[in-house]
Amino acid sequence: MSSEIPTDHIYLSPPNSTMAIVSLVAGILGLTILPLIGGIVALYTGYSARREIEDSYGELGGEGYATAGIVMGWISLALVGIGCLCAACSAIIGFSIFGISSSQFGLLLAALI
């Protein structure tokens, strides 16, 4: 009985693309503390990583990281858009309830700045 381990069936995965890892990290940051910037960076680096992985013909891995970063980037940007829409609706409703006209809003804004 031999104690040697056969090495002919060992499969090593290719190294992950750096852009794919950056996309994943940016996507996580986009969902937590940097919504707009993180989302944009996640999308840009995710699509770049996908192209880089495809052009490497198997030399690079990390397509799952790139896809996760892209998905988180789109979710982050969607949440930013929904937040802006809610803020605008709240402002319009608030102005109509309290009877603030556009000229009064300008004065109010100037006073705050």
State the pLDDT at residue 87: 85
Full-model pTM: 0.77
Q: At what angle do helices 18-32 and 63-98 cross, to 10 degrees?
A: 20
State the pLDDT at residue 10: 75
State the pLDDT at residue 9: 72
State the pLDDT at residue 110: 74
State the pLDDT at residue 5: 64
Residues 6+ apart with CB under 8 A from 22: 41, 45, 49, 69
CA dihedral 98, 102, 106, 111 (to 10 degrees): -10
Token look-up 């944009």 returns: 40
pLDDT digits (tens, 9 = 90+) for 35-64: 999 999 999 999 999 999 999 998 999 999
Residues 6+ apart with CB under 8 A from 40: 30, 73, 77
State the pLDDT at residue 64: 93
Name the stretches of the chain with pLDDT < 70.
1-8, 102, 105, 108-109, 113
State the pLDDT at residue 20: 95
